[in-house]
Amino acid sequence: MNDVGATSSSPTLLKVEGISKTFGELKANDSVNLDIVPGEIHALLGENGAGKSTLVKMLFGSLQPDGGTIFWKDQPVVVTNPMQARALGIGMVFQHFSLFDALTTAENIALSLDEKIAISTIAERARALGDAYGLPLDPNSVVGDLSVGERQRIEIVRCLLQKPELIILDEPTSVLTPQEAEKLFETLFQLKSEGKSILYISHRLEEVQRICDRATVLRHGKVVAHCKPSEETPSSLASMMVGADVDAVERASKEGPEGDALLEIRDLNRAAASPFAVPLTAISLAVKAGEVIGIAGVAGNGQGELFEAISGEVLQKAAGEVRLRGSDVGRLGITQRRRSGAAFVPEERLGHGAAPTMKLSENLLLSRYRTDAKAFLGSLGVIRNGAITKATKRIVEEMDVRKSAEDPEAAALSGGNLQKFIIGRELDRKPAVLVVNQPTWGVDAGAAAKIRQALIELARSGSAVLVISQDLDELFEVSDAIAVMHNGKLSVPLPIAEATYEKIGLLMGGAEPGHASHGVELGAS
């Protein structure tokens, strides 16, 4: 670990000294120091809840610090709102896009500008700027018709139209194919060569090591390290973030004969539920006992619709379109499918995976009282509070869920800790089939490794595991084969020994988007 900062002779574009921010009893930022010089790509690293978002929101004027000073070009400034930040020369591209699907690219850009400019002028400037930075876009296209990668181009171009000297990028490659990420890196290097600076937030440590000049690492709201990523390894960067060594995930080879198909999807079709939803077309897949199948894809290509169909949130026209453990369940709801031995973890944890205002123990009971009635309910239907409390504690300890009270409401947990609880709640059932959407979204490196290892071990114990994820590193770590969703179609799964980032990335981008079965004979009964 190196203590690397700007030298005394280096010009400083942005500097923060002793920045602090408290929410109730939580100190989100605790005397943070950071400096960024012109023409550098500076990484801001930290696990979920480390204080990264709070810090950049203060730099962009969305939050106000409780203490400390922000210096812009060596002058102290108070950034009261995003408009003032943009006026100084600070731009930001958020992880979650703020675009209106029904408007055109040019109209969306116009809404973000602080001055009134004719739409035709905006369209002309946006097209020219996009071409200049390798971010081609059509100003007249309707955003609802665009891919996620194209939408990100809009966000970056409208940020560049404001002529920033510092650009804050929050997880910019999380929704991109590897090929699109490479194009983005070329754009960032071009901006750097022009003297512009980038504050880069990412959990993908390999890309941080590759493209960032320096890094500041936060843990529990405090700066714990400054370093040069090129002199570190992804493992050492993760250790700085977590404060301990992160165990490597071990994917043991499958042993013994091939297991039976426990989850089968047979020629599944589903019409789009809304104008901007994705229809599913002739999807077939089988997940056998003892294996993990990964589904990759850029967000918005039908992964959510597929999860709803498998979980029973949306019923199928034909019962045989979804089979669990040899039984047709396409016309059965979630409860019946869970009783068949299946477990499901949705992408949205708060509101979908857990009721926000209910305690952890209550959420556990809500999700399992029908599948575990003997364990949690007495003979007259009386709730067995002792059994529920014991199970809740077991899950919390097993998954290392950090909480501020003995049995807090779900909404009181950080996103990463709630994710650990929900995953643990389903793993605790030891399901025969587990379908999980974005299993490690928003959790720290140590917790992510624990979750991924648990998925592998569940499969090796004889269960079938289907993992839907936008994180290719994750899928390559846990999967025995990887299929790709694109435009509502599913590719043939590639065995992990044959899969490469380039092959998967091309499929994610729409190349050869054929769909086929994996161990499924469509005519079989």
**What is the predicted pLDDT for the residue at 522?**
36
Structure confidence by residue, pLDDT tens digits, 221-236: 999 999 999 999 988 9
Query: Considering Cα of 233, then 238, then 243, then 248, what sign does the dihedral take?
Result: negative
Model confidence at 383, in pLDDT bands (50, 70, 90)?
confident
Residue at 479 is within a domain: yes
Structure confidence by residue, pLDDT tens digits, 269-325: 999 887 768 899 999 999 999 999 999 998 888 999 999 999 999 999 999 999 999
Q: How far is CA 248 from CA 244, 266, 365, 430, 453, in A?
A: 13, 36, 33, 23, 9
Residue where one domain finishes, among candidates 397, 414, 430: 430
Residue at 9 is within a domain: no
329 and 354 housed in the same domain: no
Residue at 4 is within a domain: no
117 and 234 housed in the same domain: yes
**What is the predicted pLDDT for the residue at 516?**
43
170 and 280 housed in the same domain: no
- The candidate with the shortest Cα–Cα distance to 300, out of 447, 146, 170, 117, is 146
Residue where one domain finishes, among candidates 242, 268, 290: 242
76 and 99 housed in the same domain: yes
- Cβ proximity of 475 and 294 under 8 Å: yes
The count of structural domains within the chain is 3
Write out the two tokens for 502: 């380039």
78 and 197 housed in the same domain: yes
Residue at 248 is within a domain: no
**What is the predicted pLDDT for the residue at 519?**
44
What's the mean pLDDT in 98-127? 90
Q: Specify which of 294-298, 379-383, 506-510 reaches the highest per-range mean pLDDT.
A: 294-298
- Cβ proximity of 489 and 515 under 8 Å: yes
424 and 436 housed in the same domain: no
The CA distance from 326 to 320, in Å, is 10
The CA distance from 453 to 437, in Å, is 16
pLDDT at 116 over 50: yes
| Percentage of the chain lying above the pLDDT 90 cut | 62
pLDDT at 515 over 50: no
Model confidence at 374, in pLDDT bands (50, 70, 90)?
confident
365 and 419 housed in the same domain: yes
pLDDT at 28 over 80: yes
Q: How far is CA 312 from the centre of its chain?
A: 23
Domain extent, residue 453, equals: 255-341+431-525
- Compare 414 and 13 and report the one with higher pLDDT: 13
Opening angle at CA 206, ends 253 and 89, nearest 5: 150
Structure confidence by residue, pLDDT tens digits, 318-373: 999 999 999 999 999 999 999 999 999 998 888 889 999 999 999 998 888 888 87
213 and 266 housed in the same domain: no
Residue at 1 is within a domain: no
286 and 400 housed in the same domain: no
What's the mean pLDDT in 44-58? 89
Q: Can you give the CATH number for the domain in which 36 is found?
A: 3.40.50.300
Model confidence at 523, in pLDDT bands (50, 70, 90)?
very low
Write out the two tokens for 193: 């060569």
pLDDT at 517 over 60: no
Residue at 155 is within a domain: yes
Write out the two tokens for 329: 């369940």
- Cβ proximity of 240 and 14 under 8 Å: no
Residue at 7 is within a domain: no
Residue where one domain finishes, among candidates 242, 275, 305: 242
291 and 436 housed in the same domain: yes
Beta bridge partners of 341: none
Is residue 448 classed exposed, middle or buried when 0-12, 13-18 and 19+ CB atoms within 10 A define those classes?
buried
217 and 357 housed in the same domain: no
Residue at 8 is within a domain: no
What's the mean pLDDT in 115-132? 91
64 and 81 housed in the same domain: yes
- Compare 57 and 509 and report the one with higher pLDDT: 57
The alpha carbon torsion through 259, 263, 266, 267 (nearest 10 deg) reads -120
